[in-house]
Amino acid sequence: MRTNHMYGRMKRAVVSEIFALTICLWVKPGTGPGLGTPFSYAVPGQANELVLIEWGSNPMELLINDKAVTLPITMTDGKWHHMCVTWSTRDGVWEAYQDGVKKGSGQNLSSWHAIKAGGTFILGQEQQDTMGGRFDITQSFTGELSDLQFWSRVLTANEIYSQATCGNHLVGDVMSWSEESVELHGGLTEFPFVPCH
């Protein structure tokens, strides 16, 4: 549901600077408008270090160091979808995948920026001004999410496709999903989830 107090926090810290990344997760949208914020990573002095957001009737965006690109991804059918974003500091090259298929790509997204270590990685809310606090209810995530994996490299299109189609399950080296890895706040409910039946 849409609140400003329900969120998950990934317990594992980002321990070193990140120069390339892939983040994949399963998402089941709730009632709109917009998905809200599946995840946000804030560091001291920069609340929008790494954010995925679909706010109101705006398209989905990926923010890195407070610079945004629009992602050609829409999820309005209320079903589970697998999505991934990749990024590299070299020329700021990014890609967006939905259900294993590349939907868009571009460059110049915070080129030559390194994503800083030592921040807070929050699921379901957009961090405002302060790390891990002050959430805007209009930007909160509604729905369900699972199996967030975070790598410090750009996965290949084949690796992403096999994740989405359950041919393979890779585990993120920066963060990986498990019952123990997510700290729940504000009365969130945890359900078993098997993406691949």
Q: pLDDT tens, 68-119?
A: 999 999 888 889 999 999 999 999 999 999 999 999 999 999 999 999 999 9
**pLDDT band of 132, cuts 50, 70, 90:** low
pLDDT tens profile 146-160: 999 999 999 999 999
Contact between 182 and 8 (Cβ < 8 Å) = yes
| DSSP secondary structure, the chain, as one string | ---SS-EEEE-S---S-BSEEEEEEEEEE-SSSS-EEEEEEEETTEEEEEEEEE-TTSPPEEEETTEEEE------SSS-EEEEEEEETGGGEEEEEETTEEEEEE--SSTTPPBPSS-EEEESS-B-SSTT--B-GGGB--EEEEEEEEESSPPPHHHHHHHHTTS-----SSB---TTTEEEESS-------S--
Q: What is the dihedral of CA 125, 53, 108, 162, to 10 degrees?
A: 100
44 falls in which pLDDT band (50, 70, 90)? very high
Q: What is the rounded distance in angstroms from the CA atom of residue 65 to the CA atom of residue 114?
A: 9
Domains and CATH numbers, the chain: 7-182 (2.60.120.200)
pLDDT at 197: 54
Query: Could you give the percent of the chain with pLDDT greater than 70?
Result: 96
pTM: 0.95
pLDDT band at residue 143 using 50, 70 and 90 as cut-offs: very high
**Confidence at residue 23, expressed as pLDDT on a 0 to 100 scale:** 98
Query: What is the per-residue pLDDT for 178?
Result: 86
